[in-house]
Amino acid sequence: MSATAVTAAVVERGGAPFDLQSVELSSLQADEVRVRIVASGICHTDLLIRDGSFPTPMPVVLGHEGAGVVEEVGAAVTRVKVGDHVASTYASCGGCRMCAVGHPFHCTEFFERNFLATRADGSTAISRDGAPVHSHFFGQSSFATGAVIPERSVVAIPDDVPFELVAPFGCGVQTGAGGVMNVLRPLPNSSIAIFGAGGVGLPAVMAAVIVGCSPIISIDVRPGRLALAQELGATHVVNAAEVDPVEAIRELVAGGVEASLETSGVPGVLRQAVDVLGPNATCGLIGAPPLGTEERLDVNEVLSVGRGIKGIVEGHSVPQVFIPKLIELWRAGRLPVDRVVRAYDFDQINQAADDALAGEVVKPVLRMG
């Protein structure tokens, strides 16, 4: 099949704005599908890449929370068909030892397949006037009206689920909810402190409610985010711009919390999330600061009471299993993701990005129509 023309938000170089341009999608490889993107969430990682914090090659089309309709399938595709509604998620190879044991989130090629913005063979699915533009960012490059995506990176969804709602399930929602439900796995009535009340931290609050945690403590510096966290089920909130969060949490929970989650990516917050832990408790680390960021910990404090730190990628989610589970929780009214989503037209992408960085919106979602 000949190249397909689509509109994409191209980033020419680190620090440049998103620029909507006409580009071409290549023909499919055997394991790929072409998806008409209807909606795509904007994740903080997209903005870190745009601003040059990671070594992703440019020019590039970013976006990794896409949702839309399958328009074409490769010769080896068996899981989806033309016309299926799908959500898009991270990429994995499917053949390494971690993928083989059901841990695609720890794929040994995770960095290459998600951050280096090419196919595994080094080719790109996007071109502009005959010159390559980097594609396959997190397997998809969904800041476009169409995308070429590996079959492993799409999940079939029911036709009645709104694209604008399900798009963030591919990264932010599954990461926050999965950090609680798949990794920390707190027992009912156990205490948890969740640092950051954004597109990952608030789904984590929702998940903590689902599994029955109490108290659920949300920590942020924005009063509006904290108010929303309370509406979503946080039993306590701490404004870290006004008080020392470690002291405040220790006053709330004598001896320290039984679990914590760091979702902000702000340097220094990981230390706080570890310092609030009680004995034999674990801090889940999700928030990603710029590459090379280091954190200082009191080694004896960690050692003496058996505190742990667990890195969490994509909520340790197997998307084809976990995303349908999250959709059912949403249907039951237990995962009110619509409370954190705000829709923007595709040509408002730079405004949406600015609003996200300013904290004026939790989860911006682009409408491609």
Q: In angstroms, rounded to a whole number, what is the distance separating the alpha carbons of residues 39 and 171?
A: 14
Angle CA(85)–CA(181)–CA(252) in degrees, nearest 5?
135
- Centre a 10 Å sphere on the Cβ of residue 364 and count the other Cβ atoms it contains: 24
Single-letter residue type at 351: Q
Confidence of residue 369 (pLDDT cuts 50, 70, 90): confident
Confidence of residue 292 (pLDDT cuts 50, 70, 90): confident
Q: Is the pLDDT of residue 279 over 60?
A: yes
Q: In angstroms, rounded to a whole number, what is the distance separating the alpha carbons of residues 331 and 216?
A: 23
Q: Start-end ranges of CATH 3.40.50.720 in the chain?
A: 175-313
Query: For helices 201-211 and 223-231, what crossing angle results, to 10°?
Result: 20
Q: Is the pLDDT of residue 102 over 80?
A: yes
Starting at the edge strand that comes first in sequence, how are the strands of the sheet with 4-11 ordered? 60-61, 4-11, 19-25, 126-128, 131-133
Q: What is the pLDDT of residue 34?
A: 98
Single-letter residue type at 98: M
Q: In angstroms, rounded to a whole number, what is the distance separating the alpha carbons of residues 350 and 211?
A: 37
**Is the CATH number of domain 4-170+336-367 3.90.180.10?**
yes
Instruction: Give residue-wise pLDDT tens across range 131-161.
Output: 999 999 999 999 999 999 999 999 999 999 9
Q: What is the pLDDT of residue 276?
A: 98
Q: In angstroms, rounded to a whole number, what is the distance separating the alpha carbons of residues 214 and 192?
A: 7
What pTM was computed for the model? 0.96
Token pair recorded at residue 161: 């689920």
Point out the least confidently predicted range of 3-7, 63-67, 82-86. Answer: 3-7
Task: Give the start-end residues of each E strand in the chain.
Answer: 4-11, 19-25, 32-41, 60-61, 66-73, 85-88, 126-128, 131-133, 146-150, 154-156, 192-195, 216-220, 236-239, 257-262, 277-285, 308-311, 341-345, 363-367
CATH number of 175-313: 3.40.50.720
Instruction: Give residue-wise pLDDT tens across range 176-220.
Output: 999 999 999 999 999 999 999 999 999 999 999 999 999 999 999
Q: Which of 110, 113, 115, 106 is nearest to 62 (CA)?
A: 115
Q: What is the pLDDT of residue 2?
A: 61
Q: Start-end ranges of CATH 3.90.180.10 in the chain?
A: 4-170+336-367
Phi then psi for residue 321, to 5 deg, are -100, -45
Please state, rounded to an integer, the average pLDDT across all residues of the chain: 96
Q: Is the pLDDT of residue 27 over 80?
A: yes
In the block, tokens 């929370």 appear at: 65
Q: Helix %, strand %, coil % for the chain, to 5?
A: 35, 25, 40
Q: Is the pLDDT of residue 223 over 90?
A: yes
Q: Are 353 and 47 in contact (CB under 8 A)?
A: yes
